[in-house]
């Protein structure tokens, strides 16, 4: 009993990439740069969507929610990772690990649902353009965004509560970049079949089901676009959806790899880099993709910046 409680008393050793010091130094600079750019890019999208009346539409409302999730998601991981990488002892308190586990799991799950909601929004815009404003009315938008946030909170409470109850039998070395459910399951010294099954079921609900709904939405979108006779009309319709589809492929591709496999099967470095990608890299790609591929956002940002320059 005393041995099983040692992790809660001493915390964890968050090893990260400490076995490769040169790589760790390079990654420290990259992660710091990506984190700062992530904060700037996603904050800019939130501000522009709020300040520009032309962007007060369902699409940009959900995009603002996505940016907010990305800021919080990366912030739950990056600062602690940077601090740990800059220390020799690599120690992380038990309370800090548990807090990070709950927050990161909840936000990651919320993003999964939010991307599916955004696909439905794009489907309504392309397939029912004349009825779009009546379908995606403000009350529905708020309800869908609330469902995304609440679903993440609920699954986090269930998954993480089951995980933290596992006896760790004194193991303190967390060979990963942050506290994540599959990694903590590996530290347990008891049979984790139930936890792995629960994790798999949750992954089906938050990964496979949203991806299926997204594919169905884009199936309807493709059929609607193919009915458009003009090339310009087709390009415009595909342009409104391509940014979202690119984000979906990048985000789900990496997170499915991490979660839809037995918790004890992936190689250490492989899991670290995959987690690094969807917690640090993907949240930065979202504002880049939406900004570079979206004329409305670029125009709003240009107007906002020029307005501030001339007003000063």
CATH number for the domain spanning 139: value is 1.20.1070.10
User: Which of 82-91, 264-273, 295-304 is least confident?
Assistant: 264-273
Q: Please tell me whether residue 263 adopts helix, strand or coil conformation.
A: coil
Query: How high does pLDDT run on average in the chain?
Result: 83
What is the C-alpha separation between 72 and 107, in angstroms, rounded? 7
**Residue 97 in contact with residue 179, Cβ under 8 Å?**
yes
Which tokens sit at 210? 């949203």
Give Cβ neighbours of residue 30 (< 8 Å, ≥ 6 apart): none
Q: Is 185 among the domain residues?
A: yes
**Which ranges of the chain does DSSP label H, i.e. alpha helix?**
6-10, 21-51, 58-75, 78-85, 94-127, 132-135, 138-164, 181-187, 193-203, 209-226, 231-259, 268-276, 282-292, 295-311
Which is it for strands 12-14 and 91-92: parallel, antiparallel or unpaired? antiparallel
Query: Average pLDDT of 114-129?
Result: 90
Q: How many domains does the chain have?
A: 1
For the cut 60, the answer to whether the pLDDT of residue 6 exceeds it is no
Position 265 confidence tier, pLDDT thresholds 50, 70, 90: low
For the cut 80, the answer to whether the pLDDT of residue 199 exceeds it is yes
Domain that holds residue 24: 6-311
**Percent of the chain beyond pLDDT 70?**
85
CA trace torsion 264, 265, 269, 272 (10° rounding): -60
What is the C-alpha separation between 164 and 167, in angstroms, rounded? 8
Cβ neighbours, 10 Å, residue 22: 8
pLDDT in tens, 123-142: 998 888 889 999 999 999 99
For the cut 70, the answer to whether the pLDDT of residue 312 exceeds it is no
Q: Is 37 among the domain residues?
A: yes
Give Cβ neighbours of residue 198 (< 8 Å, ≥ 6 apart): 158, 159, 162
For the cut 50, the answer to whether the pLDDT of residue 4 exceeds it is no
Which is it for strands 173-174 and 91-92: parallel, antiparallel or unpaired? unpaired
Q: Is 1 among the domain residues?
A: no
**Residue 110 in contact with residue 151, Cβ under 8 Å?**
yes
Of the two residues 149 and 48, the one the predictor is more confident about is 149
């Amino acid at each position: 009993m005393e041995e099983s409680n040692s992790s809660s008393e001493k915390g964890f050793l968050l090893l990260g990439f400490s076995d490769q010091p040169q790589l760790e130094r390079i990654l420290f600079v990259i992660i710091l740069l990506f984190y700062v750019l992530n904060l700037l890019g996603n904050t800019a999208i939130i501000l522009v969507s709020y300040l520009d009346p032309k962007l007060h539409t369902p699409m940009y409302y959900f995009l603002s929610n996505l940016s907010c999730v990305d800021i919080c998601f990366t912030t739950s991981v990056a600062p602690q990772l940077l601090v740990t990488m800059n220390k020799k002892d690599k120690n992380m308190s038990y309370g800090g690990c548990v807090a990070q586990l709950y927050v990161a799991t909840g936000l990651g799950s919320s993003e999964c649902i939010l991307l599916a909601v955004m696909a439905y929004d794009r489907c309504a815009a392309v397939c029912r353009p004349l009825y779009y404003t009546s379908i995606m009315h403000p009350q529905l938008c708020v309800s869908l965004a609330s469902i995304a946030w609440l679903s993440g909170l609920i699954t986090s409470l269930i998954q993480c509560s089951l995980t933290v109850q596992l006896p760790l039998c004194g193991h303190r070395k967390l060979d990963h970049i942050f506290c994540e459910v599959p990694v903590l399951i590996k530290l347990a010294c008891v049979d984790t079949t139930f936890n792995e099954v629960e994790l798999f079921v949750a992954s089906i609900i938050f990964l496979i089901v949203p991806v299926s709904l997204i594919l169905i939405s884009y199936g309807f979108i493709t059929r609607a676009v193919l009915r458009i006779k003009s090339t310009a009309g087709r390009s415009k319709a595909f342009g409104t959806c391509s940014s979202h589809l690119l984000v979906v492929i990048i985000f789900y591709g990496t997170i499915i790899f991490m979660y839809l496999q037995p918790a004890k099967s992936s190689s250490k470095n492989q899991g670290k880099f995959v987690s690094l990608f969807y917690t640090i890299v993907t949240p930065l790609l979202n504002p880049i993709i939406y900004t570079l591929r979206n004329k409305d956002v670029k125009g709003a940002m240009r107007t906002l910046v020029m307005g501030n320059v001339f007003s000063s």
